[in-house]
Amino acid sequence: MGGLFDKIFKHDRETEKALTKYTVFTELNGYKPVFRSWGGEIYESELVRAAIDAIARHASKLQPTFYGSARPSLMAKMKHAPNEWQTWSQFFYRAATILSVKNTVVIVPVYDADLTVTGYYPVLPDKCEIVEYKDEAWIRYDFGNGKRAADKLSLCAVLTRFQFKHDFFGDSNYPLNETMKLLDINRQGIEAAVENSASYSFMAQADNFTDPDDLELERQRFSQKNLSKEADSGGLLLFPNTYRNIQQIKYTPYTVDADQMNLIQKNVSMYFGVNEDVMTNKANGDALDAFFNGCIEPFAIQISEAMTRAMFTLRERANGARFEANSNRLQYMATTAKITMAQQLLDRGVMSINEARELFNYTTVDGGDARTIRGEYKNADELNGGNEDADQE
């Protein structure tokens, strides 16, 4: 029984030829379109990981919606899950995480034994490159386990961030290097402070030693007797009169001060478009809506367009077939704003009972899709007509 790689990538003869008998595909700027996995170390920082996790958590709330009548079998399979290993929540979370860490994520089709597409899966190869075979662009992957795969570019969804140098892939996270160095320096300084706080050192000037070897033996004897783990000094150090100018060595490791740490946090927040309130689940109302507009909605639009292009042909798209990743933006409103909206819209027929319940994450009720209007409201045209009739009388 094969692993996940063999389950996702089922190659036919044409694919095998595309892996070996291809020509170099060049971009408009003359570069060969190659994406290499770089910057994974940024995910090892707790601050960066918190920012990326906040984006991925909110992206995982997106709901898939399919439109049109094309590919009914595939739509039926993907209605509840994108593939046999993930839920839609996991799919969106992983895609958003890879995109934030690598600035490029490739979503590939999953095939059955008959090479029929049964779903889609976001992959994380070490290297991607665009090659050409039979006048068609293919995307070729190299993975860390030494395996290689390929798919037609038209069948894959490619999402990018910071796309400037390349026509197909996003740029690296190199601009974040300086911030990551400061974070690492701060971490090392804290570690050194903790280690040195559990130990103490002294320096002193020893008299009556003319032979360097005798001086070294005395230093070792004193350290072993007083400073080693086996020492039985009871925490009291006694210096004979052969020592003078006795001083304790105090370590002052470098740590980032509060202003510098705030600057680092601001840099990370600006880079990923997520602030501390969102990372710590304190944001609500307008702040959360702004985060949705600036971060989640662009991701939803990009993945919707890329998946639609990968899943459906041009003719199918022209006939209305499309995929959308939707999110109920009203869920980001504050509770007081939701109450006001329900009060103002429910009795005017703009919102149904179930739509109002959805604002508060309540389940639907039977008959709740009906819309009601308060009795004192009348059609304005009817009122105008009635006045005209009255004038004529």
Spell out the per-residue pLDDT of the chain, length 393, in tens.
Answer: 456 666 676 666 666 655 665 665 555 554 555 555 544 577 778 888 899 999 999 999 898 999 999 999 999 999 889 999 999 999 999 999 999 988 899 999 998 878 888 899 998 877 888 888 888 888 888 887 778 888 888 999 999 998 877 777 888 888 887 787 777 776 666 666 656 555 556 666 666 665 677 667 777 777 666 666 665 655 556 566 666 666 666 656 555 567 777 788 888 888 888 988 888 888 877 788 888 888 999 999 999 999 999 999 999 999 999 999 987 655 666 777 788 888 888 887 888 888 888 878 788 888 888 887 776 666 667 666 555 554 554
Q: Hey, where are the domains in the chain?
A: 4-173+278-324, 334-381
Tell me which DSSP letter residue 373 carries: B
Kind and range of the H or E run holding 106:
strand 104-111
84: Cβ contacts below 8 Å, ≥ 6 apart: 110, 118, 119
Nearest to 159 by CA among 10, 308, 313, 342: 308
Query: What Cα–Cα distance (Å) separates residue 218 from each residue in 105, 200, 208, 210?
Result: 63, 18, 11, 12
CA separation for the pair 221, 252 (Å, rounded): 27
Nearest to 159 by CA among 135, 119, 128: 128
Token pair belonging to 197: 């706080």
> What is the pLDDT, as a whole number, of residue 94?
94
| Alpha-helix residue ranges (DSSP H) falling in the chain | 4-8, 13-20, 46-59, 72-78, 88-102, 177-197, 212-226, 258-272, 276-279, 285-291, 297-311, 314-318, 335-346, 353-359, 380-392
> What is the pLDDT, as a whole number, of residue 349?
81
Helix (H, G, I), strand (E, B) or coil at 11: coil
Nearest to 58 by CA among 107, 83, 106, 92: 92
> What is the pLDDT, as a whole number, of residue 64?
92
